[in-house]
Structure 1
Amino acid sequence: MGAAGQVVACFHCGESLPRLPVWLDVDDRPQAFCCHGCAAAADWIRQAALNDYYRLRSVAGARVDELPDLSSWDRDDLLGEHAVPVAGGLEITLLTDGMRCAACAWLIDRALHGEPGVLDVGANAVTGRIRIVWDPAATRLSSLLARLAMLGYRPYLATGAARERERVAEQRRWLMRLGVAGLGAMQTMMFSEALYLDFGHHMAGATRDFFRWVALLVATPVVFYAGWPFLQGCWRELRQRHPGMDTLIAVSTLLAYLASVVETLRGGAQVWYDAATMFVFLLLTARLLEQRARRIASAQVDALARARPMLAVKEQADGHRVTVPVASLVAGDIACVAVGDVVPVDGTLLDAHASFEEALLTGEARPVSRAQGAAIYAGTTCRETPARILATQVGSATRLSHLTRLVEQAQSQRPPLARVADRIGQVFVAVLIVLAVVVYVLWRLHDPTRAFEVTLSLLVVSCPCALSLAVPAALAASHGALARMGVLSVRSGSLEHLARTTDVVFDKTGTLTSVQLAVDEVRAFDGFDPALAMQIAAALEQDSRHPMAEAFANQATSLQVEGMREVTGQGVMGCVDGRDWRLGRASFAGARDDDGQLWLGDGERVVARFCIQESLRPHAAETITALRKLGLRIHLASGDGAGAVVRLKRLFSLEDARARQSSEDKLALVRALQAQGRVVAMIGDGLNDAPVLAGADVSVAMGDGASLAQRAADMVLTSPSLLRIPAAIRLAGRTRHVIRQNFAWAVGYNLLALPLAISGHVTPALAALGMALSSLTVTANALRLMRHSKAGPAS
């Protein structure tokens, strides 16, 4: 850092400095800080002799805001639900959004290990999770979390802790197996090297046997402990009569090991312990790297299910505020959300204005300003000013929970491409085993001393790991990139169809446009009170999820509706104060000619007309242009009147724009295009779009649309910007290209390696290395898709 006049950023968090920064000596050099919190954090780091943090970090730390009240973390109900008893104390898993690099994890580990009563700490910079094991008799959890908050790492409760603990335990088991395999492979290679270098066979028989017996002792735990996942997988595949990759791995390993044992017992000419142990070690390495790649790729999707707050501040009727578990909140409660806290419920904003960071749901990183009465969703983060939210949906009914269920549904399915790759792998394994038998017989006739070694090399070098990884690795990376840009793929096969799309059909209202009711344009007939008409319309629409209902969201009404029912493509109907009312098309409300406006009537005559003013969604025009540049044909199918559709047709220069389209009409349009051999993508949001969303080759539902439409769709657009759609199509095309590259590499590798192995030019150890490098190449190629996760301008 330069002289005082040149300092522009805080030494700790990197944010801009105020006019009068806080100065503090760090490593005998004056450094500037933006606030006393950052200065205090740096001073504590210096006193704790953890200054290496500033040298190791790759990005600046998080700003240290005013320390929150963390006393609620000591509540018995919270600890009873989320802390797990372990030997000597309790264990809890936390989430923080301030851990930005590996140096942060290093600092957290050492800072908490220095606190009294802490038994163990584990910080993961990839997932943002912190595992703390502490003795409640020696220290309180709140004091440990205060240390974290003082360093800029504000803690949150992480849901799915049991699943996370199991994942961590499983990862530790894999790392332990990798360590055993690595040590065993090194030792057996040392013994084998000594045997290989005995060119003149001058080594004494006793010495040779000693090396072989020691190699047997070392190789045994490698094969049966480190290689246990492969043996277990082989047994499972054989029971299901579907031999696959694990079968080939286990057969190759056991062949090398058991043949070596036989040769050791009878004093034969050669053993292959080094091939068996190196094969297990390299495969474990490749499998762990693949798992890490999957975790990185799915981090954004997993965050959707994890980052739910477990505590909330509830405002009671007398104005007092109490901290309660989120599970105890019900619709109608008022939740108070502090700056930086996560919103616990879906609801409406009671304050004049507030801003929220919606990156988890929409992919939009910048805070979005909301006005009084606006819909606020669970999982968003309050920014700038505190907010009071009237809860309308809680628990599993929130939009966050709904999207989480969609993601979990998608993750439980295997896409068609992956199933095809599995079938190819099964056939390949069966053919390879037959080929290995043939090769063994031919080599026995040609050179019996090398028959087994050549056959073993053939089995190892052609192990279809790369073939099995070709599709799953690419899809995992692509789904992670989609989630980052605000598109959730919730159905298997959606990316494959999206990449082949030729036509895009848009709904209008709520998709290309948003609606706003112009109250001063309400026109009543036959002396009917316009204010009463507004209240009746608001009552009819208050339980509707159609975008038109948002036009009446701010209209207060005390009227109650009985028997409310939506008539697809027409409107809503219900009984208000003993009289049946209809709100929707003119023909539906009062047997009049439709004019594209919203009418209120009893089915025979109309009493009021509501003029709806529409505005385009952000980047709608740019989206149409981007889709055309991709060579796609654009269609508009709307249930609105001809006037509104013609305006959009002219604005976007559309060739095909259709008005007054019912659900059946839209589905018929999609079927007609499909009959011409076209691949159709449908973009919609409303309840009446669900049939056509389900009937299209691939469909995208708007994230703020009806939940039935989201369940019928293949993808959910959680971002407010339509530009994510052409970005998703481009990513789907790149994904298909990467999958083809992976297939080409896997097939090309085997076409090259098989002749070399059959001709005896590849040793078993070299074959294991080639197989592992092939798998890593496929995984690394798939991870290139993660670089294409930004789509369009921020909305």
Structure 2
Amino acid sequence: MRAAPADAGVASGCWHCGEPLPGSPARMEVDGASRAFCCDGCAAAAQWIRESNLGDYYRLRSEHASRVGTEPADFAIWDRDDVVAGHARDVEGGREITVLTDGMRCAACAWLIDRALAKEPGVLDVGANAVTGRIRLTWDPTTTALSAPLRRLALLGYRPYLAAGTRDEDARRRARNRSLLRIGLASLGAMQAMMFGEALYLDTSGTMAPATRDFLRWITFLVSTPVVFYAGWPFLEGAWRELRHRRLGMDVLVSTSTLLAYLASVVETVRGGAHVWYDAAVMFVFLLLVARTLEAHARAAANAQVDALARARPVLATREFADGTRETVPVAALRVGDIAHVAAGEPVPADGRLLDAEARFEEALLTGEPHPVARHEGDAVFAGTICRDRPARIRVIRTGADTRLSELTRLVEQAQAHRPRLAQVADRIAGVFVIAMLLVAGATFVAWQMHEPARALEVTLAVLAISCPCALSLSIPAALAAAHGGLAKIGMLATRPDALDRLARVTDVVFDKTGTLTDGGARLERVDAFDIHNDDALRIAAALEAGSTHPLAAAFTQGNAPSATGIRVIGGLGIEGMVEGRRWRIGRGDFAAGREDDGAVWLGDGEHPAARFEIGESMREDAMDTAAALHAQGLRLHLASGDAAERVAALASRIGIDDARARQTPEDKLAYVRRRQSEGRVVAMVGDGLNDAPVLAGADVSIAIGTGAALAQRAADLVLAGRSLARLPQAVSLARRTRAIIRQNLGWALAYNVLALPAAVMGLVPPWLAALGMSASSLVVTLNALRLARRPE
């Protein structure tokens, strides 16, 4: 690699990270071709990769790398024991730590990290996982400091962050290793048992010597025992737990089938009986373990969002002092009012206000928005977002559990902890089904005992195996887990367990206007004061609006505003309070100034006007596209706003909403929704303000804009974490697909049992084939559910 001539052709994006190129990009010659880079950091990373003979990375990768940037990265603080305490642990020959990075985008990234860090002096072992974003690093502290390999990671574009503590990591690793060991043991046992079983089955004429037959059976016994009691332990433990709580579930039927096949085979082996069924027992365990692993993968699609949110929470922060000096401190040490310096490529440590003129932040994790968002001086910046392009300074306003990142984490965890009504119904049906199948199995055994005693146990085993309600039990939970993962990917979080089911049945969508269809960026366009100076009117207005979550309050920001007391919010009308010993009102003309409501914001004492404000706001960029998409989905759109009729009608006309209502109080909005519901319509309400909380609670399904009032979010079924309304039709589409897939899964489970159970009762299905059919049924519904984990289009 060498410097390229200045007149080389301009590429469409950075060769290393794919980011847009600046006017004068950095240039290098790679493999005889001129390549352009967005920054010197990406160029240096590409040069090091080539010089280290790791150039295959560019050939193998399926996604671009992360942007490296030019902000110097100082990892010296990672060498302090108090920083990595609880994260690093002593191992043979050195120490081990697991770090996280959000830069691994394909398997080639993991390949590059493994080989790049292995070249670092003192690094003993490296394991990078492109799926989880985790990097396990073992190093020798006597040879190198931890900061050295971490600095190499950052120089390649994979900035490391502290993962969860070693206890959580060890528990996760042990659970994963146990699961893999159980599946591996069960697969080997199943193959061996089937191989020996086939030799016994092929002896149709009964000419095999008894000694050979007994030898094969005892060998199969030795192979099957660890499969049943170790690999199958999760089912045995689950069955014991179900029986202890006096209920019958899937694990009871699984364990009954497995133990019956195994114990009957042991008895037949000891007494030299005609048949053994070890193969059915081990096949049962192996195939069910595979099905459960796939179900766990579906659940991990939703859990990954919690993991990603936890990953976004940095452990360290850079605090800046008034004289410009900086110090690195734990995030927990930040206080409200501190100034935090955020380097390019680093996550924001706390919620705050931007102090610089402009900066761009990547908010995909919080909002689902794939492109960096530009913020200007005074704009809100949230913890967990990634600073892009250039360093930024923010004044901290919320820390720790009060940040928006923590609120979203709680919402996701709350949604995952709930069991939707559909899943509860499926559990009850499965419990009744287990009782029915046990009765059917008992009746089958009695009938075959009377008809052909030699086959009674074999047929009963087949009935128990083939009738296990695994597909029924997995059909709904697997689909819902995958669907919640899909929702999280687009920045939509469910706070109620049945939100998806209700969203799939929606026929009408009612929108609020201000802050929902408009961008919430209210601006003051004109001030007319009466017997008061303009500046004084603005100060009083700013005092009354201070702390208000209504989007129009953003138009009144005065640094020298006095404090207001006795604040009272009157829904749909305005705000009343005491400012400098005098009672003031701000809001509609008839409420604040005794004037006719003309759509402007008035300031007065309730009878006499003091000032009139004209407020301007812009429609959201994607409002029209969202309305068109919802119309295409067959939904009726409505607009109910507390704003003036002229503004409401103009906005509705632009967007394409025929039914628009102006000057609606919270009670009016709720009554409007109730009327639609009385007509048999299923209504979704979309809003963001404090005044929307009653109607959000009264709608069939409610969606709150994540940037709005906390009370509105608590009343909502779904929270739109970002500002893009385009997530709404995506969520509706996903909800409808979820309902369709749940119906498909239930239909398959029902059809399978209707067809397979009579065949088993009639003795047409051997136990091993019954186990295969049951497990295949479970795999079908799980794989079908996994389709929902894809990001909705």
TM-score, with normalisation over the residues of structure 1?
A: 0.92
1:704-783 map, 5 Å = 704-783=707-786
Match of 1:538 in 2: 542
Q: Is this contact kept in 2: 1:487–1:718, CA < 8 A?
A: yes
Note the C-alpha offset of 1:579. 2.2
Secondary structure of 1:229 counterpart? helix
1:205-224 map, 5 Å = 205-224=210-229
Q: CA separation in 1, counterparts of 2:568 and 2:20?
A: 55
Work out which of the residue numbers 16, 28, 51 in structure 2 matches 1:22.
Answer: 28
Change (3 A) 1:106 1:664: same
Note the C-alpha offset of 1:233. 0.8
Match of 1:631 in 2: 634
Q: Is this contact kept in 1: 2:117–2:123, CA < 8 A?
A: yes
Q: Is this contact kept in 2: 1:406–1:711, CA < 8 A?
A: no
Q: Is this contact kept in 2: 1:515–1:612, CA < 8 A?
A: no
Note the C-alpha offset of 1:690. 1.0
Task: Check if 1:575 corresponds to 2:575.
Answer: no
Q: Is this contact kept in 2: 1:641–1:659, CA < 8 A?
A: yes
Match of 1:440 in 2: 445
Q: CA separation in 2, counterparts of 1:220 and 1:318?
A: 72
Change (3 A) 1:473 1:761: same
Larger deviation: 762-771 or 560-569? 560-569
Larger deviation: 370-379 or 408-417? 370-379
1:380-399 map, 5 Å = 380-399=385-404
Secondary structure of 1:339 counterpart? coil
Task: Check if 1:656 corresponds to 2:659.
Answer: yes
Note the C-alpha offset of 1:175. 0.7
Task: Check if 1:675 corresponds to 2:670.
Answer: no
Match of 2:608 in 1: 605
1:55-134 map, 5 Å = 56-66=60-70, 68-84=73-89, 90-113=95-118, 115=120, 117-118=122-123, 120-134=125-139
Note the C-alpha offset of 1:238. 1.3
Change (3 A) 1:530 1:410: same
1:150-299 map, 5 Å = 150-159=155-164, 162-296=167-301, 298-299=303-304
Task: Check if 1:414 corresponds to 2:419.
Answer: yes
Note the C-alpha offset of 1:87. 6.2
Q: Deviations over 1:342-380 (max 9, x none)?
A: 111211111111111111122111111122111111121
Q: Is this contact kept in 1: 2:542–2:561, CA < 8 A?
A: no
Q: CA separation in 1, counterparts of 2:620 and 2:44?
A: 46
Match of 2:592 in 1: 589
Q: CA separation in 2, counterparts of 1:551 and 1:158?
A: 41
Change (3 A) 1:608 1:233: same
Note the C-alpha offset of 1:21. 3.7
Note the C-alpha offset of 1:478. 1.8
Secondary structure of 1:324 counterpart? strand
Q: Deviations over 1:75-133 (max 9, x none)?
A: 33321254355666544332212212223223333444555554554322112122334
Q: Is this contact kept in 1: 2:583–2:605, CA < 8 A?
A: yes
Note the C-alpha offset of 1:716. 0.9
Q: Is this contact kept in 1: 2:122–2:139, CA < 8 A?
A: yes
Larger deviation: 627-636 or 277-286? 627-636
Amino acid at match of 1:613: G
Task: Check if 1:498 corresponds to 2:464.
Answer: no
Q: Is this contact kept in 2: 1:596–1:640, CA < 8 A?
A: yes
Q: Is this contact kept in 2: 1:24–1:39, CA < 8 A?
A: no
Q: Is this contact kept in 1: 2:706–2:720, CA < 8 A?
A: yes
Q: Is this contact kept in 1: 2:525–2:615, CA < 8 A?
A: no
Where does the alignment leave 5 or more consecutive residues of structure 1 unmatched? 791-795
Q: Is this contact kept in 2: 1:158–1:307, CA < 8 A?
A: no
Aligned length, in residue pairs: 784
Match of 2:488 in 1: 483
Secondary structure of 1:513 counterpart? coil
Work out which of the residue numbers 554, 564, 588 in structure 1 matches 2:567.
Answer: 564
Note the C-alpha offset of 1:151. 3.3
Change (3 A) 1:111 1:757: farther
Q: CA separation in 2, counterparts of 1:108 and 1:519?
A: 52
Work out which of the residue numbers 311, 317, 332 in structure 1 matches 2:337.
Answer: 332
Q: CA separation in 1, counterparts of 2:119 and 2:462?
A: 52
Secondary structure of 2:407 counterpart? helix
TM-score, with normalisation over the residues of structure 2?
A: 0.93
Q: Is this contact kept in 1: 2:524–2:556, CA < 8 A?
A: no
Change (3 A) 1:266 1:52: farther
Match of 1:550 in 2: 554
Secondary structure of 1:615 counterpart? coil
Q: Deviations over 1:713-748 (max 9, x none)?
A: 011112322122122112211111111111111111
Q: CA separation in 2, counterparts of 1:624 and 1:417?
A: 30
Amino acid at match of 2:763: G
Change (3 A) 1:245 1:561: same
CA RMSD of aligned residues (A): 2.8
Note the C-alpha offset of 1:607. 1.0
Note the C-alpha offset of 1:136. 3.7
Q: Is this contact kept in 2: 1:338–1:386, CA < 8 A?
A: yes
Q: Is this contact kept in 1: 2:69–2:344, CA < 8 A?
A: no
Note the C-alpha offset of 1:462. 2.0
Work out which of the residue numbers 113, 130, 151 in structure 2 matches 1:146.
Answer: 151
Amino acid at match of 2:252: T
Match of 1:793 in 2: none
Change (3 A) 1:74 1:521: same
Q: CA separation in 2, counterparts of 1:443 and 1:335?
A: 78
Q: Is this contact kept in 1: 2:495–2:717, CA < 8 A?
A: yes
Q: CA separation in 1, counterparts of 2:536 and 2:337?
A: 26
Secondary structure of 2:660 counterpart? strand
1:615-626 map, 5 Å = 615-626=618-629
Task: Check if 1:317 corresponds to 2:322.
Answer: yes
Larger deviation: 289-298 or 225-234? 289-298
Q: Is this contact kept in 2: 1:618–1:720, CA < 8 A?
A: no
Q: Deviations over 1:17-58 (max 9, x none)?
A: 987743466xxx889674775676567667767666556543
Q: Is this contact kept in 2: 1:95–1:155, CA < 8 A?
A: yes
Amino acid at match of 2:28: V
Amino acid at match of 2:775: A
Amino acid at match of 2:742: I
